[in-house]
């Protein structure tokens, strides 16, 4: 595995993520990808070769293995990790698209032309929606794979040492032995737990982004309404008196709250 490319990918995605997004990336790349590559693959490397049944009937071990392991754990986790990390790359691609568009705008209209974006990497407009949808997609992928894993293995995350099989062409009920069941049990629980943690982090980041956006929209409106209320209280309406005018023809201004005015007296 090319660790330099992995480090570059991590730093590139990290640059456009929130604090919760950086925690999610650390959990994915350190506790899921690295554990999967360094340890989990080796634990399941001999899963079919060392799946031994107490019979010499040809085809019986293969049929029994397919019954208890319809999909290999490592292949299922590999597909899950690929799908769950792709949405983060969409955010990087969206930022790169903005930067390229800004560059072409400068070349066409000159270096002093107004910018299309205040900050191409700032999560506003389309980039905000891309980031939000990527979080929802990642949480949905992890949830979907956990449900698939639960359905395939009937909710049994424990790894038994011996399984009984009576599928044809086995002549009778035979016992089959799983290789390294304790190690596989530990890694199964670990991968499921880290997937649940990632789902919670994604949902927390969705709540954070939506809540922050709502505050940015509601805050200025509330500030403007309060400002209007203060101006209305501090500047009461004035009325032009329509009684006897002084000889010089000047009108007398008086507060409506202190004097009764005739109809049509407001300016």
Q: What's the pLDDT at 205? A: 93
Roughly what angle, to the nearest 10 degrees, separates helices 181-234 and 126-152? 150
103: domain range? 7-51+71-161+183-218
Q: Dig out the tokens for 96 from the structure.
A: 């790169």
The confidence band for 259, taking pLDDT boundaries of 50, 70 and 90, is very low
In a domain, 62, yes or no: no
Q: Under a CB-based contact definition with an 8 Å cutoff, are residues 83 and 141 in contact?
A: yes
In a domain, 235, yes or no: no
In a domain, 16, yes or no: yes
In a domain, 156, yes or no: yes
Q: Under a CB-based contact definition with an 8 Å cutoff, are residues 24 and 200 in contact?
A: no
Gap between the Cα atoms of 98 and 120, Å rounded? 6
Q: Dig out the tokens for 244 from the structure.
A: 């006897």
Residue 76, Cβ density class (10 Å: 0-12 exposed, 13-18 middle, ≥19 buried): middle
Q: What's the pLDDT at 6? A: 54
pLDDT, one tens digit per residue, over 57-99 is: 888 888 998 888 888 888 889 899 889 988 888 888 888 888 8
As a whole number, the mean pLDDT across the chain is: 78
- Highest mean pLDDT: which range of 136-150, 170-184, 225-239: 136-150
Q: Under a CB-based contact definition with an 8 Å cutoff, are residues 64 and 211 in contact?
A: no
Distance of CA 57 to the CA centre of its chain: 50
Distance of CA 65 to the CA centre of its chain: 36
Gap between the Cα atoms of 60 and 66, Å rounded? 10
Q: Of 40, 47, 71, whose CA–CA distance to 145 is shortest?
A: 71
Q: What's the pLDDT at 246? A: 45
In a domain, 253, yes or no: no
Q: What is the mean pLDDT of residues 252-257?
A: 40
In a domain, 81, yes or no: yes
Q: What is the mean pLDDT of residues 26-31?
A: 86
In a domain, 76, yes or no: yes
Q: What is the mean pLDDT of residues 49-55?
A: 85
Return the percentage of the chain with pLDDT > 70, whole number.
75
Q: What's the pLDDT at 225? A: 62
The confidence band for 136, taking pLDDT boundaries of 50, 70 and 90, is very high
Gap between the Cα atoms of 168 and 234, Å rounded? 91
pLDDT, one tens digit per residue, over 170-222 is: 888 899 998 888 888 888 899 999 999 999 999 999 999 999 888 888 866 66
Q: What's the pLDDT at 91? A: 84
Q: Dig out the tokens for 56 from the structure.
A: 């010499």
Q: What's the pLDDT at 105? A: 80
Contacts of 189 (CB under 8 A, 6+ apart): 157
What stretch of H or E contains 26? helix 19-26
Q: Output the domain CATH number for residue 152.
A: 1.20.1440.80
Q: Dig out the tokens for 107 from the structure.
A: 């070349």
Q: What's the pLDDT at 190? A: 92
Long-range contacts of 159-166 (CB under 8 A, 24+ apart): 159/184, 159/185, 159/188, 163/64, 163/68, 165/53, 165/60, 165/63, 165/64, 165/67, 165/68
Q: Dig out the tokens for 227 from the structure.
A: 């400002």
Q: Dig out the tokens for 147 from the structure.
A: 């449900």
Q: What's the pLDDT at 5? A: 60
End-to-end CA distance of the chain: 80
Q: What's the pLDDT at 261? A: 37
Q: Is the pLDDT of residue 10 over 70?
A: no
- The mean-pLDDT minimum among 8-22, 190-204, 218-232 falls in 218-232
Q: What's the pLDDT at 253? A: 37
**What SS3 class is residue 253?**
strand
Tell me how many domains the chain contains: 1
Q: What's the pLDDT at 140? A: 95
Gap between the Cα atoms of 111 and 115, Å rounded? 9
In a domain, 64, yes or no: no
Q: Is the pLDDT of residue 252 over 60?
A: no
């Amino acid at each position: 595995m090319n660790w330099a490319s992995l480090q570059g990918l991590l730093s590139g995605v990290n640059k456009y993520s929130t604090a919760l997004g950086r925690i999610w990336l650390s959990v994915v790349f350190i506790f899921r990808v690295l554990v999967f590559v360094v340890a989990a693959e080796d634990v399941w490397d001999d899963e079919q070769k060392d799946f031994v049944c107490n019979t010499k009937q040809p085809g019986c071990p293969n049929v029994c293995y397919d019954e208890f392991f319809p999909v290999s754990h490592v292949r299922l986790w590999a597909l899950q990790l690929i799908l769950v990390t792709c949405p983060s790359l969409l955010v990087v691609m969206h930022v790169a698209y903005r930067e390229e568009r800004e560059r072409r705008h400068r070349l066409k209209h000159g270096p002093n032309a107004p910018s299309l974006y205040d900050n191409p990497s700032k999560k506003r407009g389309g980039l905000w929606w891309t980031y939000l949808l990527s979080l929802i997609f990642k949480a949905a992928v992890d949830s979907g794979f956990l449900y698939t894993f639960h359905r395939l293995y009937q909710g049994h995350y424990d790894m038994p040492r011996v399984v009984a099989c009576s599928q044809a062409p086995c002549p009778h009920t035979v016992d089959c032995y799983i290789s390294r069941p304790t190690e596989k049990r530990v890694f199964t629980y670990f991968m499921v737990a880290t997937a649940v943690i990632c789902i919670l982090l994604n949902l927390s980041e969705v709540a954070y982004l939506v809540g922050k956006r709502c505050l940015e929209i509601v805050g200025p409106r509330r500030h403007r309404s309060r400002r209007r209320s203060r101006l209305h209280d501090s500047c009461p309406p004035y009325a032009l008196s329509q009684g006897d005018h002084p000889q010089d023809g000047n009108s007398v201004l008086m507060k409506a709250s202190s004097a009764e005015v005739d109809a049509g007296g407001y300016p």
